[in-house]
Structure 1
């Protein structure tokens, strides 16, 4: 859902420490961003999140400041708000162009990307810059992509495009809906959106390397120095690692067939079981979409699924687990789904309650897959390696080591194929993200 132009929203990830009536001139950082999954959005709990949001909040915390966000729809809007002095800083997936250098200051870069030409599978395509003259191309007004196209037009005079007051996500959807042939978007935006629209096809890199930065008014030299120090600091490194892990690490190599099948099954299979997932999720305080994603990872929502090892049903329960949960028939979704949710909640209850979410749930998912005993070993190994045994990013790094003799020989329960729960959690996170997007569209 689009957030209205210039909606002011207080940063919610760390909470708002400032009263509405308090003075904000010196302590509040006014940040303009745009509403998109790679910048700033509201999650299912109506909490502001997103890569740019989290980086800004970490920066503000480091500076001892609170944050007020100005949320707009497009890059052109972002630059206008900043130029009009209505914000101190722009954090909106921006890159540097020569034209922007004359108007703004920029922080050092914090992420490398590529500008990619994206078309639709089975439709008209451009395989190189010359091919762009044969298709309908649209890009966001005042975007870095438009600047690149203007540069290329000097050597390809027939090059034409539509300059649109629309964000990258909207134009990618128009390509997917066959309204335009192709567009240009940053590689991380493409990676996120191809999971929702699997027919999107990356044709080539329009620009082989680009970077993301924050923008500031030209007189804000002190703020620039502070931002640069932050990105070079331990706090900045930690914030960037958390953003990478939280928003991008679960997006594994794109699988067109698997993603297209999931999108199709959200329409054809999920409606039969959606209420069961929602009821079970509410009962055990687990996001229903996470249960949906877990069940898809287990069985592709096939209630009669059976593995060679004897696990069965939509949640692929073992005979002993099903018996312990009171399930008489694993092939009946009305029994299997509540039981799967109950078992996941049981796994979660075996981890300390003060472990923050979503880490506690990811640890529980890994235990669901690998067993609590091996997860106990993983936490033991994490401590030995000076890692946090309650942080999923650290456990995710430790688990694969449990297949190496020099590590597992000193663990209580020995060898474990630790890469399996890592992939298990990654895929569930990916599926959950796609399911949430498609249900929101419906």
Structure 2
């Protein structure tokens, strides 16, 4: 029951934290200008760079920075999530929030509404292409090349202008944003389905951590400047944030976060296991011992261990998951697994089986069939149960079978990378990069089928 309580508590707290309803009262009413309030109301957007939830943990470059600011100043961060950039600006204009912690373009249009503050982020639009000796190194080499971009996007606008600047010849293909989004196009370049695309450099850097085969070094636009912002009548708050960022410790925090989100590889390496000796791993007896507690085939849980760490107990993921079954530190604590024991193989497997058992119980009312439910559990172990709940809701709303994973809920969890769907009223937990979870479920199930054929139960 402890685990079920932990999962439920995390879900409830997450819902409360990301609610966009204003608090009663105004955090600016009870203090003098120039003095930080006890609670700072901060707005942001769901996105792969700013704020998202992964394995029930709140994450994101801007989110982590704002929480570090709050912790250093000894104030509470009251987080509000807007569905779009115009809505975020409106929340700032209306006084619903004090700070917009999101990369807002520093343009004449937005300067009417916000005072930039914090670190200035400088990006460019860049060409996404495969690495190799034939890579394009100058924009004039784009003549005769096919480039795919989202229809009506700023990328199409820049590409049209660039085409005029070099005298024409670029073959521009536009795709419907309802069908494909930027992340899809980047993946398609990595797999060779399309030759080239254009994205912002910060988005390119983040996605390169998933696709190490990509080159994103060729800039094709002028600088694009962006930063956090406050209302123009709150220069003291902008000054306070600016002063904090120039200190050495915040600079070190920012450097760590840049490495975490934009440099550390998130690509799962290829690793083959030889099953000819009749065993899956050195930990087979532990998998057998604890799988009995929940009535699962030990080979399936071992297959998760293979997908999580390739049975390396020392692995630490970019997100901070640790040990053989890659358990997040906060989840480990909820299951009584201390930091000094999280890499212990037996303790890690035991906690993982407890987590799997609780996920199975939580999903039972949504997916009655116990065999089919295992795919949902495996997905929830990877993504966090919140995103699986969202995918089930989206599947039900958009005519899919919410009790079947393949081709149904698996497709729905992919929809959560698209603002149209993660801002849907039935979707409670925002943006999520579902490609990694669907690939994870496939990897686990494929390896499990190998084990079933070669390893006795």
Q: TM-score normalised by the shorter chain: which range applies?
A: 0.3 to 0.5
**Given the two structures, how large is their TM-score scaled by the length of structure 2?**
0.46
